[in-house]
């Protein structure tokens, strides 16, 4: 199993490593959403930057210091797997109220899954739940290109433990939910993925490396590892920037920091350049908007390496 699921608690329990691109003005029809705050256990600890034992560290002067995403996004529960549209106005993320609850109970708690917030007048709206076809599923790791959402799901009918699914945005809602098929989910066993802006290449996690394949005549072909990016350590969760010029991904820190870190590789005209570690200390699943702001998940750990919760962070690109 190569795929990482969207929830850090599922990562720890299943031991698997499981982000784009719709226009502005998106609207979405949703049913009445459950109360996220009410679902969080009493006494749950909300970690802040002041109490964070391992705060994210930025290694590049191109970005400001990472901060928790402003507004009603983060809670004392776990917010994970962010995806932001290129215009920076739509944010999708995974939420579960308690990282100590096993996936079997998350499946039926009514709140664990994909949530969506929209930026209006510069502020994020209260998130709403996005139900993707089945209420009995664990969904996350969203990536969107045009009117198609790709996401990972644990549900009945899967080829494996976690499968990739697609949904279409029609008439104000995500519908036509379908399994992405045997080729991707069984033969290739595709992990968390991102598709290039032109739709011609898919980057994805594959057994601790980042792989790529091509879309030719209606099918994905020629799977291979991405040259110059992979190492003897783990790399996963790729993201291609809206201009197609940068490949971002999650990997084990190469600078000695604990937990995962975020890397960037730049296209040099012939291939991807040597990766540079950009953000360290339990940082992962990068997603960038067209302005170059880096959205990512930051997991909070105690000194003895027990996970507490997770938040969506952002490192804003400095203005030139």
Q: What is the pLDDT of residues 66-108, one digit of tens each?
A: 999 999 999 999 999 999 999 999 999 999 999 888 888 888 8
Q: What is the pLDDT of residue 17?
A: 31
For the chain, percent of residues with pLDDT exceeding 70: 89
Q: Is 70 exceeded by the pLDDT of residue 8? A: no
Residue 170 banded pLDDT, cuts 50, 70, 90: very high
Mean pLDDT, range 255-284, rounded to an integer: 97
Question: Measured between alpha carbons, how far is 167 from 89 in angstroms, rounded to an integer?
Answer: 20
Question: Measured between alpha carbons, how far is 254 from 14 in angstroms, rounded to an integer?
Answer: 25
Residue 216, classed as helix, strand or coil, is strand
Count of other CB atoms within 10 angstroms of residue 300: 23
Helices (H) and strands (E) in the chain, counts: 4, 22
Mean pLDDT, range 53-74, rounded to an integer: 98
Instruction: State the Cα torsion 158-286-194-224 to the nearest 10°.
Output: -90
Q: What is the pLDDT of residue 315?
A: 98
Average confidence score pLDDT of the chain = 90
* Structural contact between residues 214 and 203, judged by C-beta atoms closer than 8 angstroms: no
Q: What is the pLDDT of residue 104?
A: 84
Q: What is the pLDDT of residue 9?
A: 36
Residue 309 banded pLDDT, cuts 50, 70, 90: very high
* Structural contact between residues 57 and 25, judged by C-beta atoms closer than 8 angstroms: no
Q: What is the pLDDT of residue 297?
A: 98
Q: Is 50 exceeded by the pLDDT of residue 183? A: yes
Element (H, E) at 224: strand 219-225
Q: pLDDT tens digit string along 230-249?
A: 999 999 999 999 999 999 99
Mean pLDDT, range 139-164, rounded to an integer: 96
Q: Is 70 exceeded by the pLDDT of residue 20? A: no
Residue 30, classed as helix, strand or coil, is coil
Q: What is the pLDDT of residue 41?
A: 94
Q: What is the pLDDT of residue 317?
A: 98
* Structural contact between residues 27 and 172, judged by C-beta atoms closer than 8 angstroms: yes
Q: pLDDT tens digit string along 25-44?
A: 455 544 456 799 999 999 99
């Amino acid at each position: 199993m190569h795929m990482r699921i969207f929830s850090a608690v599922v990562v720890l329990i299943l031991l698997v490593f499981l982000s784009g691109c719709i226009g502005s003005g998106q609207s979405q029809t949703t049913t009445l959403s459950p109360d996220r705050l009410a679902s969080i256990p009493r006494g749950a600890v909300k970690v802040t930057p002041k109490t964070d034992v391992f705060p994210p560290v930025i290694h590049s002067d191109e970005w400001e210091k990472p901060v928790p995403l402003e507004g009603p996004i983060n809670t004392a529960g776990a917010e994970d797997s962010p995806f932001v549209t290129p215009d920076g106005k739509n944010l999708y993320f995974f939420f579960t109220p308690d990282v100590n609850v096993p996936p079997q109970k998350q499946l039926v708690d009514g709140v664990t899954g994909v949530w969506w917030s929209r930026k209006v007048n510069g502020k994020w709206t209260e998130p709403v739940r996005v139900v993707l076809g089945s209420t009995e599923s664990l969904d996350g790791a969203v990536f969107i290109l045009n009117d198609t959402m790709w996401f990972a799901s644990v549900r009945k009918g899967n080829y494996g433990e976690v499968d990739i699914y697609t949904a279409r945005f029609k008439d104000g809602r995500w519908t036509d939910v379908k399994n992405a098929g045997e080729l991707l989910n069984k033969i290739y066993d595709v992990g968390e993925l991102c598709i290039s802006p032109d739709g011609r290449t898919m980057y994805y996690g594959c057994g601790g490396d980042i792989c790529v394949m091509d879309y030719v005549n209606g099918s994905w072909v020629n799977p291979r590892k991405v040259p110059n990016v992979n190492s003897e350590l783990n790399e996963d969760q790729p993201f291609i920037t809206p201009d197609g010029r940068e490949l971002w991904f999650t990997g084990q820190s190469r600078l000695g920091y604990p937990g995962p870190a975020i890397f960037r590789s730049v296209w040099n005209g012939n291939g991807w350049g040597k990766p540079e570690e950009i953000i360290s200390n339990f940082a992962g699943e990068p997603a960038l908007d067209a302005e170059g702001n880096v959205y990512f998940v930051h997991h909070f750990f105690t000194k003895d390496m027990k996970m507490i919760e997770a938040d969506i962070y952002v490192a804003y690109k400095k203005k030139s």
